[in-house]
Amino acid sequence: MGLRDEAPAQAHQCASGHRVMLGDGASVDELAVELSVAPVALELLLDHLATVGIVERTATGYRTTEFGTNLCAGADNGLIDLLHLNTAGGRAELAFVELAHSITTGRAAYSRRYGQDFWADLAEYPHLRASFDRQMTYRFREQIPRIVAGFDWSRFSTLVDVGGGRGGVLAAILTAHPRMHGHLVDLAPTADAARRTFRAHAVDERARVTAGSFFDPLPPGAEAYLLSDILHDWDDEQADRILRRCVEAAQPAGRVLVIEPVGGMHAASAFNLAMLVMYGGRERRIDEFRALAAPHGLTLDTVTDLTDQRCLLEFRLADR
């Protein structure tokens, strides 16, 4: 939504890209011109937004309430990348209208609605990719310190972050452990962003980046391979392929570290359903992780509570 600005000093950019007004209030007619919408329909909408507290009526029209400013870009609460229909999050939310398809088939509703899967959409539309990467960075900004402090990363001298996104997690681990070397793999535009993150954290001399797919061979010979919020994005067949790549690449005594909300422990039911609708994935339970890992000779060693939302599962490779 958006309301026209009549008080420039107090204007905020709204999720729709329009400016919102915190001044005296703009009339429906003025707003309709700015937004190129039908005035009568707009008034119906504003009336309802007033009912739910997003705008309020004033002597001169409508203005955004304090609560309503939460929907503005400047609110710095991550909502814009979750709700705006032109972002990856907002677009994915609409796939819920195909929920019945997911429940019937066990497959992603997203592909049914948009004709290709979520990742293909991100590859085709750079603005969706950018919004997704922003959303991923935002979601972890309070979790990263706990991820770094909650596990003994110093046991490893080399760590590959598989699907490591913009590199926030790996940069923080490397910063905390100056003798450690890292290698991040992600798809091209995101890998470029990771290079910038490593430079910004001054760990770029210890952090390599490969732009590529985790369905292809991974950088070999590391002591540990990290999958942070990766496996839940995929069905069992694809999750199996990703694990196989980690095991192929790892040292004989290597470890595979999985950070995820675990089903039955931390996973919120709404989020679990979202994994199904968006990707055909899910938040697996411990026994499901064990079953997925066992054919690769991976044994679950430890489960560490990292945050209130995520566990770290450490898998060890059987002697090869």
Ligand X SMILES: C[S@@+](CC[C@H](N)C(=O)[O-])C[C@H]1O[C@@H](n2cnc3c(N)ncnc32)[C@H](O)[C@@H]1O
According to DSSP, the residues that pair with 311 across neighbouring strands are 260, 305
- Binding to ligand X by residue 214, rule CB under 6 A? yes
Residue 36 exposed, middle or buried by CB count within 10 Å (0-12, 13-18, 19+):
exposed
Exactly one of 186, 204, 260, 283 binds ligand X (CB under 6 A); that residue is: 186
What does the DSSP 8-state code read for residue 21? Answer: -
To ligand X, the closest distance from the beta carbon of 76 in angstroms equals 19
Instruction: Give start and end residues of each alpha helix (H) in 14-143.
Output: 28-35, 39-51, 80-83, 88-94, 99-105, 109-114, 118-124, 126-139
Cβ-Cβ contacts under 8 Å for 307 (sequence gap 6 or more)? 143, 146, 147, 150, 266
User: CA 202 to CA 171: how far, in whole Å?
Assistant: 9
Phi-psi region of 167 (alpha: psi -120 to 50; beta: other; left: phi over 0): left
Stretch that binds ligand X, among 69-77, 184-192, 250-258, 295-303 (CB under 6 A): 184-192
Side-chain-side CA neighbours of residue 77 (13 Å): 11
- Binding to ligand X by residue 261, rule CB under 6 A? no
**Cβ 89 vs Cβ 133: under 8 Å:** no
Exactly one of 27, 69, 213, 251 binds ligand X (CB under 6 A); that residue is: 213
> Per-residue b/e over 299-313, b at no fewer than 16 CB within 10 Å?
ebeeeeebbebbbbb
Binders of ligand X in range 137-176 (CB under 6 A): 140, 163-165, 169
Stretch that binds ligand X, among 92-100, 223-231, 248-256, 272-280 (CB under 6 A): 223-231
* Number of residues engaging ligand X in binding (CB under 6 A): 18
Tell me the three state secondary structure of residue 45: helix
Exactly one of 77, 215, 291, 297 binds ligand X (CB under 6 A); that residue is: 215
User: CA 280 to CA 238: how far, in whole Å?
Assistant: 10
User: CA 109 to CA 124: how far, in whole Å?
Assistant: 19
Nearer to ligand X, 163 or 254 (CB): 163
**Cβ 197 vs Cβ 204: under 8 Å:** no
- Binding to ligand X by residue 111, rule CB under 6 A? no
**Cβ 9 vs Cβ 15: under 8 Å:** no
Nearer to ligand X, 136 or 311 (CB): 136
Stretch that binds ligand X, among 15-23, 229-237, 293-301, 307-315 (CB under 6 A): 229-237
Exactly one of 96, 119, 138, 151 binds ligand X (CB under 6 A); that residue is: 119
Catalytic residues: 232
- Binding to ligand X by residue 230, rule CB under 6 A? yes
To ligand X, the closest distance from the beta carbon of 30 in angstroms equals 42
To ligand X, the closest distance from the beta carbon of 47 in angstroms equals 39
Exactly one of 20, 136, 243, 274 binds ligand X (CB under 6 A); that residue is: 136
- Binding to ligand X by residue 228, rule CB under 6 A? yes
Stretch that binds ligand X, among 45-53, 101-109, 185-193, 196-204 (CB under 6 A): 185-193
Nearer to ligand X, 107 or 310 (CB): 310
According to DSSP, the residues that pair with 211 across neighbouring strands are 186
Stretch that binds ligand X, among 40-48, 150-158, 225-233, 309-317 (CB under 6 A): 225-233
Nearer to ligand X, 16 or 228 (CB): 228
Contact residues for ligand X, defined by CB under 6 A: 119, 136, 140, 163-165, 169, 185-187, 190, 213-215, 228-230, 233
